[in-house]
Structure 1
Amino acid sequence: MRLDPTTTRTAPAADRIPPCAGADGCRRIRGSEPDYGRHPITLITHEDPIGKDLIDHRVQADLPDRKDGWREQLGVRRLAGDTFEVACLPFFTQGICHRDVVAVDDDQLVTSVVHKSGHRTLRVALVMKYEVDREKAREMIQAKVSETGLPHEWLHGTYLAVDLPPGSNADSLVHLLTSLAQSGNLFWEIES
């Protein structure tokens, strides 16, 4: 995921392919092999979702603007029938935020957003080449996020998603992210 720091809009789709750094964050689903005429699916999972106590189902969202076969698994709470409330912070799924209500099909794949919650998602991708630099930036960002008290999730210590409930103030975090982005150390965006 590469985000354009000057506009807080997403950069070209080819530059935003999510990583697959290990079994904790991504995994290959073997049930969909190329032998069957389909691409294998890589699934991005959440290490520690903010609504883990509410999650009673897991659904998947296609990531068509990334790469064929990539999906993000979302922890959700069933409301009724095929509608679910999102109980995690999507790292890569565009158009879905925490507490949005989504509809899913029989394959447990998100088909639409039924109701927007008013929450926004602040996403960060650290892009430092050296692990030591990435860890320093991560610590600075984590301290600022903790100071704001906003719910958040990390993926592999490289990707951050922060929940921005209606009326929340993330100005101090945005200021820090803007300065780090100017030096080329990260990309960030805010999505509603």
Structure 2
Amino acid sequence: MSDRQDGWREQLWTRQLTADRFEVACLPFFTYGICYRDVVTIDSNHLVASVVQKSGHRTLRVALVAEHQDRDQLHELLHDKVATAGLAHEWLQGTYLSVDLSPGTDPAALVEVLEAPARASALHWEIDS
């Protein structure tokens, strides 16, 4: 798990590499600075203590505005785009999208699709590394 300032935590799935090192095996939705396949250590409370090796993966996050009239159409459009591009991705509650950008992946085509809806306040997006 990773702790945010307000005490909220996101559960991260990991794969144990050694007694004290774990590889992140999921796409974080809310945890900054940790991406798929990063190697982390955890503390006695099973919270991430540190990132000891970056994988080179980045995470593109999208939050659809739940009340926006175009939300369902945007969900379908984004799902089609990431699936057609062959990008690993996960949805949370149909409004949060996390996309794995493996090393060398150019997100330009996906970013282009996000720009107009972002200007229309239909979604928010960012890329974390």
TM-score (normalised: structure 2): 0.96
Q: What does 1:159-174 correspond to in 2, within 5 Å?
A: 159-174=96-111
Which residue of 2 is the match for residue 74 of structure 1? 12
Which residue of 2 is the match for residue 61 of structure 1? 2
User: Percent identity between the aligned chains?
Assistant: 58
Work out whether residues 148 and 170 of structure 1, in 8 Å CA contact, stay in contact via their aligned partners in 2.
no
Q: Does 1:101 align with 2:39?
A: yes
One-letter amino acid of the counterpart of residue 161, structure 1? S
Q: CA RMSD, aligned part only?
A: 1.1
Q: Structure 2: how far apart are the matches of 1:115 and 1:149?
A: 25
Q: Structure 2: how far apart are the matches of 1:128 and 1:110?
A: 30
Structure of higher RCO (CA pairs closer than 8 Å, 6+ residues apart): 2
Deviating above 3 A after TM superposition, structure 1's stretches of 4 or more consecutive aligned residues are none
Residue-pair matches, total: 129
Higher Cα Rg, which structure: 1
Task: Structure 1 unaligned segments of length 5 or more: list them.
Answer: 1-59
Which residue of 2 is the match for residue 115 of structure 1? 53
Work out whether residues 16 and 23 of structure 2, in 8 Å CA contact, stay in contact via their aligned partners in 1.
yes
Residue 128 of structure 1 deviates from its aligned partner by 4.2
Per-residue CA distance 1:91-124 (angstroms, 9 max, x = gap): 0000000000000011111011000000000000
Q: Structure 2: how far apart are the matches of 1:106 and 1:83?
A: 13
Work out whether residues 100 and 113 of structure 1, in 8 Å CA contact, stay in contact via their aligned partners in 2.
yes
Q: Structure 2: how far apart are the matches of 1:148 and 1:174?
A: 13
Task: Structure 2 unaligned segments of length 5 or more: list them.
Answer: none
SS of structure 2 residue aligned to 1:80: coil
